[in-house]
Structure 1
Amino acid sequence: MVLEYAGILLVAFIFAVVLGFILIPVLRRLKIGQNVRTVGPKTHLSKSGTPTMGGLIFLISALVVTVVFMPRNPLGYLVLFMAVASGGIGFADDYLKVVRKRPLGLMARYKLAGQIVFSVVFYLFLKAINFDEALVIPWLGPVNLGWAYPVFVLLVTVGTVNATNLADGIDGLAGGLGIITLLGYAVIGYSADIPGIVYAAAALAGGILGFLVYNLHPAKVFMGDIGSLTIGGAIAAMAVLSHTEILLFFGLGIVFVLETVSVILQVLKFKLTGRRVFLMAPIHHHFELKGWSEWKICLVFWLIQLVGTAAAVAVYLLAY
């Protein structure tokens, strides 16, 4: 089975590389280019016009490979549902920004409303398959949250989707972080005998790896919100389905959490005192303004995510 899952990853990788080779020139001809904000790091101004919405590359790759190779599996389909639903919101946001030329894209309240709706639908699917509605605490076991469980699922899904979006600010960063977390979930899914998670994680990780061929610095294409929200939706679903929400927060998604916390601290500090904690938030931009190269930021942040993911997987194997 391990070789089969590795094959899924490899096929998705090849599919994404080929699809990117075809799609990126199309995006360029259609002038689907990124508008870079002048308030960001000045080094980003040279990236203006770079094709975006490249998340289509790994979303399509993962969908095709999973549907073709994965045996019928409701949990796997739930992961795909959250990936596609979240990616759909990102697609609408990107479309409004780069095609309709609306700088703010999809209004925040509509984006949040869509995420809430899809999270509720996701929970209703869980109810339909008699999913065990419990929060699992390492070494202590399951805790029945009762009526609060749907709210918990909502917070996990919406929070994760938006956290991954915050990490998409420099070439290759969000994609690399996503691959590390997804591979962690592939190991957890394999250990827990949840093949749907493994198939989806392998296919999406392979697709993102193929996308990174074009997205590493200097990027030939950006993933756009369709890409970052797709990754977040899939990871959120895997966390809920494997009862590893706590491990996601403290390990598997540690950099996503740090990026989010940096934004919260920045906003609170500025509102309370008029001063800032960081030169710029999310925190990867702080290090950019400190003079770190994009490659250095990626490597350091990937390493932190790798350590967090390895620790979380170890805890899962020992305490679940």
Structure 2
Amino acid sequence: MVAIFLISLITSFIFLPYFIKLMTIINVDGQPIRSFCLQDHFITKKGTPTMGGIIILASVLCSILFYVALNIKVLLLLFIITSFAVIGFLDDYYKLTVKSYHGLSGKVKILIQFFVAAVSVLILKSYSESNFTHVYLLNGFTIDLSYLYIPFAAFIIVGAANAVNLTDGLDSLAATQSITSFASLGLSAYLVQADVNIILSCIAFIGAILSFLWFNAHPAKIFMGDVGSLSIGAALGFISILIKREILLAMIGGIFVMETLSVIIQFIYFRYTKGKRIFLMSPIHHHFEKKGWSETTIVIRFWVIAVVLSVLAIAFFL
């Protein structure tokens, strides 16, 4: 376990500085910043290169391919990671080429994501036991979703992917939350005696993201981009399915859920009140920025909440 962690950590740490230089040369303007975003972000974040998720994923994939047994579960995890990374890459590339924060069509991205997720779950189901469609709730109680499990599982994967994507709005925020989530899922996998290869995959992600965090700490030298956030989120969702603790992820990733709900609530309220807002800005981390919290304060406090939620989730849902 230490070996795969070090491989992922060191690989990511070695190549990220070169990637930062490369992306700075290729696109001097860096990641486009939303025009209605906080003014401070234009000053501190303009010109920062993006797509650092490429190095994260390359490190993870290399570590898994060299160190993890490639059974059907791992192969499907790699398929999920790669597919969502490609979607994110195309979105990032489009943003950089047209120099706009608007990427590919949201509807198209969601449809492709659901297709990839559903196909992956269907394949996994064909290799799994008869209780695959059972969802673990609490104290050993389960519910059989039967045919509804496929769309449910696909929703978990797509929801997690986009939740991480929405959270990736402050330096270190998505990275710290992702590390906590992978650590919690890895521990959960160990406690429920899941496939050791799933645990190793979680460790590989932790190592790669830790190295990325070194360069993503405020003020960030690079952003992970959609190529990183979408694939990391999809991996979290799929791993929760592999260890049959789908509901657990919602609590472990409570910050991701909160960020997503803040966007949904804001959108619905704004639409039906014709311009009124509940939050000063969404996702909710921007609301706290508007309230005067510093970027670092938000990241640390959100991380503290994530750790507490993870401990409670593991205590009550395992």
Aligned to 1:99, what secondary structure does the other structure show?
Answer: helix
Alignment partner, residue 163 of structure 1: 163
Cα distance, 1:79 vs. partner?
2.1
Per-residue CA deviation, residues 165-185 of structure 1 (Å, 9 max, x unaligned), is: 110000010011000000011
Cα distance, 1:83 vs. partner?
1.6
Per the normalisation by structure 2, the TM-score is 0.94
Letter in 1 for 2:65: V
Count of residues paired in the alignment: 312
8 Å Cα contact 1:77/1:196 also seen in 2: no
Q: Distance in 1 between matches of 2:277 and 2:98?
A: 34
Q: Distance in 2 between matches of 1:22 and 1:71?
A: 30
Cα distance, 1:261 vs. partner?
1.0
Root mean square deviation, CA, Å: 1.4
Which residues of 2 match residues 213-224 of structure 1 at below 5 A?
213-224=214-225
Which residues of 2 match residues 1-320 of structure 1 at below 5 A?
5-31=1-27, 33-46=30-43, 47-101=45-99, 103-131=101-129, 132-191=132-191, 192-249=193-250, 251-273=251-273, 274-317=275-318
Letter in 1 for 2:5: L
Letter in 2 for 1:12: S
Q: Distance in 1 between matches of 2:311 and 2:95?
A: 37
Structure 2: runs of 5+ lacking an equivalent: none
Per-residue CA deviation, residues 239-262 of structure 1 (Å, 9 max, x unaligned), is: 11111111111x211000000111
Q: Distance in 2 between matches of 1:292 and 1:164?
A: 21
Q: Distance in 1 between matches of 2:69 and 2:278?
A: 49
Q: Distance in 2 between matches of 1:215 and 1:299?
A: 14
Per-residue CA deviation, residues 247-285 of structure 1 (Å, 9 max, x unaligned), is: 111x21100000011111111221222311111000000
Cα distance, 1:196 vs. partner?
2.2
Q: Distance in 2 between matches of 1:79 and 1:199?
A: 12
Which range moved further: 64-73 or 307-316?
307-316
Cα distance, 1:194 vs. partner?
1.7
Q: Distance in 1 between matches of 2:98 and 2:288?
A: 33
Structure 1: runs of 5+ lacking an equivalent: none
Aligned to 1:142, what secondary structure does the other structure show?
Answer: strand
Q: Distance in 1 between matches of 2:6 and 2:54?
A: 18
Per the normalisation by structure 1, the TM-score is 0.94
Per-residue CA deviation, residues 205-232 of structure 1 (Å, 9 max, x unaligned), is: 1100011111010000000111110111
Letter in 2 for 1:94: D
8 Å Cα contact 1:74/1:196 also seen in 2: no
